[in-house]
Chains A and B, each alone.
Chain A
Amino acid sequence: MKKVREKTAKKRSKEEEEEEEEQIFNFKDKPAGKEEEDEDLSDSEESVFSGLEDSGSDSEEDEKESDDNDDEDDDDVTAVESKQPKQTEEEEEKEEVVGGVTEREEEEKKEDEYEHDSSDEEDIRNTVGNIPMEWYKDFPHIGYNLDGKKIFKPIRNKDELDDFLDKMENPDYWRTVHDKQTGSDIVLSDEQVELVNRLQKGQFGDVNFNEYQPSVEFFSSDVMIHPVTNRPADKRSFIPSLIEKEKVSKLVHAIKMGWIKPRRVEDDTRGRFYDLWAGEDSSILGRHKMHLPAPKIPLPGHQESYNPPPEYLFTEEELALWEQQDASDRKLPFVPVKFSSLRQVPAFSRFIHERFERCLDLYLCPRQRKMRVNVNPEDLIPKLPKPKDLQPFPTTQSLVYRGHSGLVRSISVSPSGQWLASGSDDGSVRFWEVCSSRCMKTVQVGGAVKRPVCLSTCRPHSYVASSCECGRAVHQVAWHAKGDYLASVMPDHSSHLQVLIHQLSRRRSQNPFRKNKGLVQCVSFHPVRPYFFVATQRSVRIYNLVKQEMTKKLQANSKWISSMAVHPGGDHVICGSYDCRLSWFDLDLSTKPYKMLRHHKKAVRGAAYHRSYPLFASASDDGSVIVCHGTVYNDLMQNPLIVPVKVLRGHVITHDLGVLDVTFHPTQPWVFSSGADATIRLFT
C-alpha cells in the first residue's frame, strides 16, 4: 500500500517538475538545451526524492529504482533534462533537504509544495501542446490561448536583413531568445543569463550552494546507537524466506538425485604424460593380426630439391605436357624449380592440401594386402639344352632358286635328294637341280597352279603329281608311302566329294567318305600303317582304312588349320594354323595338343618333319622359317623334347605373304622354303 502511495506521489511530483522545466526551457534557445543532453546520465531524477542527494554519490539502489520509473515516463522528456528542476527545487527547499528527512516527511512537504505551485498559470500562453510549430507556418495565428482565442503571429516576420540590423544595433541582441510557441522575442534578465552561464559550465544553478560542504556518513563501519530510519523492521526481515527455502530444497533434491554435479576439479591430466609402455605386454590383440599398416609417404627424389641438378628441370615441352595432363596422370605432382639461394624459396602452396590428403588416405582409403612378385626375369626363362648340342640343323641360307615370276605355292624334293620341283602361281612347274640351283626344266600347266606338286616318297621311280584347276581347284595332293595311291583334296563346303583316292596301278578313283564332315584342309597317309589323316577346319580325323572307320579325332584348339605333317614314326602330328600357332599332337597321349607353339607372329602356312633327323620346321607369313628340334623317345613314359633351334630369315614379304611352303631334304639336314617373293631358298 505504501509503495503505491509513494509512486503516485512521485508521479505527481514529476509532472510538476516537467512544468518547471518547461518554464526554464522556454527562456532558453535550443542549442543550449541540446548541450544539456550531453550531461551525465547517471544522475537520475529519483535522487531528488531519496533525500540523499547531498551525499554526493548515487547508491546502487537509486539506479535500480530509476529503472522502474523509466517505464512510467510516458512523456518524451528524457531523464537528463529532468535534472534541471532538481536544482531549482533545491533552491527552494534547501533548508529542508540538508537534514536527514524521512520519506514520509518528504511526502508531506511535496504536497505543500504542490499547493502553492503556480506554474500552471504561468504556462498558458499557447495551448497547442508540444508540436512542431512549422505546422502553423501557413496560418496567420500560431496557436490558441487558454480562452480558445487565436494567438496571432507578429505582423511582420523578421527577415535576415532585419535580423542582421538587429544584431548590429540592438545591444540586447545576445540575450534575446525567440520563443517559438508565441513567436515573440524575450529578453533575458541578468539573473537568467547568469543561471544559463552557470549551467553551461556544469555548476549548480544556485549561486549560494556549496558543493563541497562536509558530507555526513550515514552508512559507515561504526555501529550507531540509533537506526538511520525509525521505521519498524519488516516481518520478512526476521522470518526465513519461503521462496528461498523452496529454491534451496530444489537444489538439494537435484544434487541428491545427481542432476547437478558438484563443480569438477580442473582436470589437468590431459597434457600430462607418463610412461605408457612401462609394463609392456607382448599380448597381441586378434585385431592386430589383420592389421595392415599404412604405407609410408614415398621419400623425395632429386627433382624435389630446391636446387636440383639441371637435368631434372622441365624443358618447355615437358612443362606443356605437365600442364595438359590431368592431375592424376602426372608423373610428378609438382614442377621442379631451381632457386639460386635458400633465401628465395617460398612457401609450398599445397602443403596443407597434401597433409589433408594424407589424412584422408589414412582413414578413408581401403587397404588390401598385395603380393608383389619379386622375380628375377632370368629365372622365368626355361632351361633348355643348348642349340649347339642339338646340331645338325640348318643355320644359314646357302642357295636361292630364282626363275618363277609368281608366288611359289608348293615345293617338293625327290627321294634321292637330287631334284626339286616347284609349282607357282605363274602357271608353271619347274624342276631344279638342288646343288647347282639350276632350273632343268619348265613345264607349263594351264592356269594358275594351286598346290600342284607332290613327289612319291619311297619308290625308286619318281612321279610328279601336279594338279591344276579343272573345274574345281585341287588344293592338295598326297602320296601314299608305297607310291601306288594318291589322295587329292578339293575343299568344298557342300559336297561329300572333297577327298578322292586314286590308285595308280588300276587307274581307278574312289571316294572314301559318304558324308561331308566339314571343310577339308589337307590330307595325309600314315607312313607305315593303313591310316588316313584328314584335317578339317578345326580338327584332325584319323581313319582306319582297313576297318573303314574313324579311330580318333584330334582337337587342334585353333581357329583354322592350314597345314599338317605326320612324323615319320607315325605317332606324332604337327598342325599349323592361320592363328599363328603350331600344335604338336602326341597320338598316344590324348586328342588335345601336347604343346602349342606360338613362335610365329603371323599365320603359319606350312609345316614339315625331317624324315631322319629329329627336326621339324614351320613356315609363316612373317617371312621366317623356324626350325625346331623335336626328339621323340621310344620310351613311352618320356614326352617329346621340343626346342627351337634356329630362326631362318631370307624371304621378303610381298603382299602380306611370306613363306608359303617348307620341306626338308630327305637325307641332309637342309630345309627348302618357297615364298611369295617368287624364290625358293635352301638353308643348310
Chain B
Amino acid sequence: MGGLQKKKYERGSVTNYITRNKARKKLRLSLPDFRRLCILKGIYPHEPKHKKKVNKGSTAPRTFYLIKDIRFLLHEPIVGKFRDYKVFVRKLKKAYGKTEWSAVERLRENKPTYKLDHIIKERYPSFIDALRDIDDALCMCFLFSTFARTGKCHVQTIQLCRRLTVEWMNYVVAARALRKVFISIKGIYYQAEVMGQLITWLVPYQFSHDHPTDVDYRVMATFTELYTTLLGFINFRLYHSLNLLYPPKLDSKAECELKEENEEDYALNSECYLEKLSALSASLARMVSSAEEEEAQLDQFPDEMSTNLGKREQKEQEAQKKLFDGLKFFLNREVPRESLAFVIRCFGGEVSWDKSVCIGSTYEVTEETITHHIVDRPNASTQYINRYYIQPQWVYDCINAKIVLPVEDYFLGVTLPPHLSPFVEEKEGDYMPPEKVKIMALQRGEKPAQEQEDEEEEDEDEDEEEEEDDNDDEEEDEEEDEEESEEKNLKKMEKQRSQVKVTPGKMKVENPERLEQEEKAEEKRLAIMMMKKKEKYLYDKIMFGKKRKIREANKLTAKRKAHDDAEKANKKKTRK
C-alpha cells in the first residue's frame, strides 16, 4: 500500500461550503453584525447538492454559505466600520457611566458612519441589474414611508423613504410607464415598465399600522438602508434619462399655478415642497425645454426586425399611454387621492381635488370642463349635469382593460362588476371568469351585448360548459364505458339466444368520428403501457397536475353557475 491515506471530507464539495457559525468566526463578527453584512452584501446561504457529504456525514440541519462568498466578505471595508461602531458604542457607554457629558458630546459628533455606494455598484454592475431587483426595494420604501414617526425607526429614514417614493412616482408619471394596477385586499399593486423591465410594487392602504411584536425591525431597517441607497441612485439615473432635474423641481409654470394663499396653513415651509411634489398634480421641470425633446422623439427608425405583431403591440401601448388624454377628473373626499392622482396622471388625464383635502389642487369643483367626478358614496348631494359621477374602480378597470370602458356599470350606487387581476394570463384550459370574457370582447371592438343577448350568451355559456363536462367525463370513463357496453351487448345476445326468439334487428348507427376517436384513445392507452418506468412516473405526475387544474376550473364554473342561478331566482322574486 503506497502513498498517504486520503482523509475524508478534505476534497470535493465540502471544500466549497462553510457553515454559518464557522463563517462568523472567520470574519470575527457577532451574529447581528454578520446578519447586517449579509443583508447589505447580498450574501445568502446555498443548498448543497449532497447535503450529507458537505455536512461531513452528519444530517444535522445546518445552513451553508459558499466559502468564496465568505472570503469575499473578508475584504469588505464596511466590516471595519462595524468594528468602529462597536468601539464607539463602548466608549459612549463608558462616558455615560462616568457622566462625562463633554466626552459624550464629542463622541457623538464623531459617530462612525458608512456609505453603501460601493456595495450597490458591486452588487449591480449594470443599471439594468439594479432595475431588475428593485421590486422589493420599492415595496419596502412604500411601507416605511407610511410609518408614523414613532420609535419603530428613525424619522430620517421615514422621510427619506417618503422622498424617494415620491420621486419614483413622479418619474413613472413623467415617463408614462405604468401598465397595470390592481386593488387587492393587501394594498394596491402597480406594474410599470421601465427600460423594458416589468417592475411590480405593492403600496399599503393609508392607515396607521398595528405594529406586530414578533417582527424584528432591525432586519427591516437594514434592508431599508440598502434599498433607500439603491432607489436613490436609480431615481437619479432615471431622471437624467428623461432630462428631468434631480432632485425633482416642479415646472416653473406649474409652480405659479400652485401658489395659494393658504399654503402656510397647510404645512411647514420645509415640508411644503415635498408635499407639493407628492401631490403629483404638476409636471416636473426639465433640463432642456420640452419642445425640442418631443421633436427628437418624433422621428423613428423603421425597424426591420419588428414584425407586424410587434408593431401592433407598440401601437396598443401608445394608445394606452394616452388613455385619459383630454379627460378632466375631480376627486371627491374619501377616495384614495394619492393612488388615483398617480394613476390618472400616468395616463395623461388631468386631476384635481378639494382644496382642503391636499395641497396642489389645480381647479375647483365648479369647473365646467370636468368630465368625470370620482365619488365613493352611494349618492352625491349636488350633481352637475355635464359630467359623469363614477366610482373609483372605473379608473383602475379602464387601465387594466386598456380601453375607456362604458361608465354605466360604475355609476354611484350601482353594484360594481368584479375587479379582476390584470396579472392573471389564462392559458388554454384555465378558468376564465365571464367578466374577463366580456372585457376581451370589448377590447376586440365588439359592441357590448344588450340584456336579452346577455341571457342568450349565458345559455350558450352553459351549453359550452356542459359540453366541456361531457368531454372530461369521456376522458375519464371511456374505458369503463366500453366495457359496460360490450358486456351489455353480450348479455343481450345471450338472453336472445336463450329465449330463441327472433326480433327484428336494429341498424346500429356507428359514428365514424367517434369510432376514430375511440381508436386513437386506445392506441394512446396501449402506448402508455409500453412507457418506461421513469417516464411513466413523470407522465403520471404531469397528467395528475393537469387533471387537478381541470377539476379546479370545473369547480369554479360550477360555483359561478350556482351563484348566477341564485341571483336570477332572486331577481325573479323581486319582480313578482
Q: What residues make up the interface of A, taking CB atoms closer than 8 Å to B? A: 260-261, 263-264, 267, 269-271, 273-277, 280-288, 290, 292-294, 296-297, 299-302, 304-312, 315, 334, 336-337, 339-343, 345-349, 351-356, 358-360, 362-368, 373, 375, 377, 380-384, 386-388, 396-397, 400, 597-599, 626, 642-647, 649-650
Q: Chain B residues near A356 (CB, 8 Å)?
A: 215-216, 219-220
**Complexed CA–CA distance, A274 and B527 (Å):** 65
11 contacting pairs across A/B (C-beta < 8 A): A267-B113, A286-B68, A288-B125, A304-B185, A305-B418, A362-B39, A364-B45, A367-B46, A381-B528, A381-B531, A644-B526
A364 to chain B: which residues have CB within 8 Å?
Answer: 44-45, 63
B415: chain A residues at CB < 8 Å are 340
**In the complex the two chains form, what is the Cα distance from A292 to B43 in whole Å?**
10
- Chain A residues with Cβ below 8 Å from B240 are 275
Residues of A within 8 A of B507 (CB): none
Cβ contact within 8 Å between A381 and B527: yes
- Cβ distance B541 to chain A, nearest Cβ, rounded Å: 9
| Shortest distance between the CB of B337 and any CB in chain A (Å) | 12
Q: A280-B127, A347-B204, A397-B490 are in contact. Are A271 and B46 (CB under 8 A)?
A: no
Cβ of B363: which chain A residues have Cβ within 8 Å of it?
none
CB-defined interface of B367-381 with A at 8 Å, one 1/0 digit per residue?
000000000110000
Residue of B nearest to A652 (CB): B487
| Chain A residues closer than 8 Å to B115, beta-carbon distance | 269-270
Q: Is the CB of A599 within 8 A of B113?
A: no
- Taking a contact as CB atoms closer than 8 A, the residue among B421, B433, B542 that contacts A311 in the complex is B433
Q: Quick check: B334 and A353 within 8 Å, CB to CB?
A: no
Pairwise interchain contact B125-A281, C-beta atoms closer than 8 A: yes
Q: Which 3 A-B pairs have the closest CB atoms?
A: A299-B423, A368-B47, A347-B207
Contact check, B529 vs A644: say whether CB atoms are below 8 A apart: yes
Q: Are A273 and B531 in contact (CB-based, < 8 A)?
A: no
Question: In this assembly, does B538 line the interface, its C-beta being within 8 Å of a C-beta of chain A?
Answer: yes
Query: Given A276-B121, A381-B539, are A365 and B336 also a contact pair (CB < 8 Å)?
Result: no
List chain A residues, Cβ under 8 A from B223: 359, 362
**Contact with B205, one of A277, A345, A365 (Cβ below 8 angstroms):** A345
Give the contacting residue for A351; candidates B68, B209, B377; CB below 8 A.
B209
A340–B184 CB distance below 8 A: no
**Beta-carbon contact of A312 and B556 below 8 Å:** yes
Residues of B within 8 A of A334 (CB): 185-186
Given A347-B205, A348-B204, the answer on whether A277 and B539 have CB atoms closer than 8 Å is no
Which residues of the other chain, B, contact A384 by a CB distance below 8 angstroms?
A: 526-527, 530
Q: What is the 8 Å Cβ interface bit string for chain B, positions 292-319, against chain A (1 contact, 0 not)?
A: 0000000000000000000000000000
A359 to B224, CA, bound (A): 10
* Bound Cα distance A98, B65 (Å): 87
Residue numbers of B with Cβ under 8 A of A are 35, 38-39, 43-47, 49, 63-64, 66, 68-69, 72, 106, 109-110, 113, 115, 117, 120-122, 124-127, 130, 132-133, 135-136, 139-140, 143, 160, 182-187, 189, 200, 204-205, 207-212, 214-216, 219-220, 223, 232-233, 235-237, 240, 246, 334-336, 376-377, 391-393, 415-416, 418-421, 423-424, 433-435, 483, 486-487, 490, 494, 519, 522-531, 533, 535, 538-539, 542-543, 546, 556-557, 559-560, 563
Instruction: Report yes or no: B560 in contact with A309, Cβ–Cβ below 8 A.
Output: yes
Partner of A367, one of B44, B136, B435: B44
B420 cross-chain contacts in A, Cβ below 8 A: 302, 305, 309
CB distance from B405 to the nearest CB of A (A): 15
Interfacial chain B residues near A646, Cβ < 8 Å: 526
Interchain CB contact under 8 A, B143 and A355: yes
Asked whether A343 and B419 contact (CB < 8 A) given A275-B236, A367-B44, A373-B538, the answer is no
Task: Evaluate contact between A342 and B376: CB separation under 8 angstroms.
Answer: yes
Cα A400 to Cα B130 in complex, Å, equals: 77
A649 lies within 8 A of B483 (CB): yes
The answer to whether A382 and B531 have CB atoms under 8 Å apart is yes
Report whether B127 and A308 are in contact in the complex, using a CB–CB cutoff of 8 Å. Answer: no
**Contact between A271 and B416, CB atoms less than 8 A apart:** no
CA distance A471 to B538 in the complex (A): 52
**Chain B positions within 8 Å of A388 at CB level:** 519
Q: Which chain A positions have C-beta within 8 A of B185?
A: 304-306, 334, 336-337, 339, 345, 348
Q: Are B391's CB and A341's CB within 8 A?
A: yes
The CA of A260 and the CA of B38, in the complex, are separated in Å by 33
CA distance A273 to B240 in the complex (A): 12
Q: How far apart are the CA atoms of A110 and B130 in the complex, in Å?
A: 86
Contact across chains for A387 and B523 when beta carbons are under 8 A apart: yes
Which of B47, B117, B235 is A366 in contact with, Cβ under 8 Å?
A: B47
Bound CA–CA A642/B527 (angstroms): 11
A310-B418, A364-B44, A644-B529 known; 12 other A-B pairs, CB under 8 Å? Answer: A271-B232, A290-B66, A293-B133, A302-B418, A302-B433, A307-B418, A337-B185, A339-B185, A342-B335, A347-B207, A397-B490, A647-B526
In the complex, residue of chain A having the shortest beta-carbon distance to the beta carbon of B200: A299
Q: Which residue of chain B is the closest to A307 with respect to CB atoms?
A: B419
Instruction: List the B residue with the shortest CB-CB distance to A303.
Output: B421
Cβ of A273: which chain B residues have Cβ within 8 Å of it?
232-233, 235-236, 246
Contacting pair A276 B205 (CB below 8 A): no
Q: Which of B127, B219, B392, B543 contacts A342 (CB 8 A)?
A: B392
CB distance from B418 to the nearest CB of A (A): 4
Contact across chains for B237 and A382 when beta carbons are under 8 A apart = no
Q: How far is the CA of A284 from the CA of B208 in the complex (A)?
A: 43
B542 and A377 contacting across the interface, CB-CB below 8 Å: yes
Bound CA span A260–B106, Å? 9
Does the CB pair B44–A362 fall under 8 Å?
A: yes
A309 to B483 Cα, complex, angstroms: 42
Provided the pairs A273-B233, A341-B391 are in contact, do residues A387 and B526 lie with their beta carbons within 8 angstroms? yes
Question: In the bound complex, do residue B237 and residue A380 qualify as a contact, i.e. CB atoms below 8 Å apart?
Answer: no
Alpha-carbon distance A341/B375, docked complex (angstroms):
10
Of the residues A274, A287, A340, A377, contact of B416 by C-beta under 8 Å: A340
In the complex with contacts A347-B205, A351-B209, A306-B542 CB distance below 8 A? no
Partner of B46, one of A359, A366, A383, A597: A366
Name the residue on A nearest B526 (C-beta): A644
Q: Does B539 lie within 8 Å of A308, measured CB to CB? A: no
State the Cβ distance, B88 to closest chain A Cβ, in Å: 12
Q: Indicate which residue in B44, B127, B186, B209 contacts A365 across the interface (CB closer than 8 Å).
A: B44
Distance in angstroms between the alpha carbons of A307 and B391 in the assembled complex: 13
- Complex CA–CA separation, A297 to B393 (angstroms): 25
Least CB separation from A370: chain B residue: B47
Answer whether A348 and B186 are a contact pair too, CB < 8 Å, given A277-B130, A305-B419, A363-B35.
Answer: yes
B42, chain A: closest CB distance, angstroms: 8
Q: A356-B220, A368-B47 are in contact. Are A643 and B186 (CB under 8 A)?
A: no
In whole angstroms, what is the CA distance A644 to B189 when docked?
55
The verdict on A301 contacting B526 (CB below 8 Å), with A356-B215, A367-B46 known, is: no
A427 to chain B, nearest CB (A): 26
**A365-B220 in contact (CB<8A):** no
Contact of A296 with B184 in the complex, beta carbons under 8 Å: no
Whether A271 contacts B160 in the complex (CB less than 8 A), given A264-B110, A397-B490, comes out as: yes
Output the nearest chain B residue to A381 by Cβ-Cβ distance: B527
Contact assessment for B421 and A304 in the assembled complex, using a CB-CB cutoff below 8 Å:
yes
A356 to B215: give the CA distance in the assembly, Å: 7
Q: What residues on B are CB-neighbors of A260 within 8 Å?
A: 106
Q: Are A306 and B184 in contact (CB under 8 A)?
A: yes
**Residue of chain B at shortest CB distance from A286:** B68
Bound-state CA distance A305–B68 (Å) is 44
